[in-house]
Amino acid sequence: FMNRKHFFVCAALFAVLLTAPVFADNHEEEGDSPSFFVMVEGAFTTATGPGGNYTLLQPNSDGQPQGVMQGVDMDSATAPRLGFGWNAGNGWWSISWSQWDDDSMDSISAADPNYVWDMLYHSDDAWDSFEGTASAMRTVDATTIDLTYGRKVFSDDKFSGNWMFGLRSASLDHMLNVSYADLFDELHHVDLASEASGIGFVGGVSGSYHMNDHWFVTGGFQYSFMTGEVESMSYMEETDVLGTFVDVDADVMSEEDRTFSIMTASASLVWHPTASTYFWVGYEISQWDNVVDTHLYPDDVSEGFVQTDTTGINFDGFKVGVGFTF
């Protein structure tokens, strides 16, 4: 898969990507000859979804789990997008690339009468609740590469509609690194990683409403269905504060064939000051399903019992962009 991914990335960077067919279609409506279009966009989005909880803050010492779970919330990050395409007649081809990559950190400390729990560690060797510090870093990296063909369905002075269909290569990496440190001499480390990758089909519809010669609004919906695999890893070790010994309590990897989907909806306000120049600002929501696997060990009697959770990641936020036809 990595060779295929590198091929698509190089092709996308060479062509320059994530097309905006709405302005290509608008350019064509003005009666110009077949043309090329290029765009650059930045999406200021936030990743959300399960998979970030790492400890429990307990306000007393009765030994039973209670209190508020502490999780790592992702910050807003800039997702760069590039696009290149060409249109002729009522249709257009495009190649596109988009990436979201960011990490966030969180930490919490507790001392008697408060406690924290090492809730992700192998239960056979866990402290359960303890006085000390729990800290975590969460990383999300998502990439899509598309090769699509689109065509106009209808158009008049005010409204236009389009459809698109093509191939998509997508990957999403999720990692959670956690450290539990008591007030004495022990440390517990947990590394949970999941890498999803696949290739499949993407399709969607979009429409525009032209307010005047220089302003229009556009919105659309895309759905992609891919087949690939999800590789996941769970690693847990115990050390002392000086690092003089290491006791590995779990080191497990898995690989599973998987189908997963991505749904995206967006809307934008576009300023069209000249025949070949476009600027826009918009909002979008994207949902990745079945792309994160997590393996935990919650049974202190059956040491080999594995609990596997499969979850997804959502992205939402604003975007700005500029496009040119030539």
Strands (E), the chain: 35-48, 53-58, 68-71, 76-88, 91-110, 115-117, 129-130, 132-155, 159-182, 186-210, 215-240, 246-274, 277-296, 307-325
* CA pair distance 168, 162, nearest whole angstrom: 19
Query: How do residues 246-276 score in pLDDT, each as one tens digit?
Result: 888 889 999 999 999 999 999 999 999 998 9
Residue 89 CB-half CA count within 13 A = 6
pLDDT of residue 211: 94
Query: How do residues 282-298 score in pLDDT, each as one tens digit?
Result: 999 999 999 999 999 88
The answer to whether residues 270 and 22 touch, using CB atoms and an 8 Å cutoff, is yes
Contacts of 69 (CB under 8 A, 6+ apart): 53, 55, 56, 57, 119
* CA pair distance 313, 174, nearest whole angstrom: 9
Query: How do residues 36-86 score in pLDDT, each as one tens digit?
Result: 999 999 999 999 988 899 999 887 766 678 888 999 999 889 889 999 999
The model's pTM: 0.85
Query: How do residues 177-218 score in pLDDT, each as one tens digit?
Result: 999 999 877 899 999 999 999 999 999 999 999 999 999 999
The answer to whether residues 304 and 275 touch, using CB atoms and an 8 Å cutoff, is no
Is the pLDDT confidence value at 18 over 50? no
DSSP state letter for 113: T
DSSP state letter for 213: S
Average pLDDT, the chain: 86
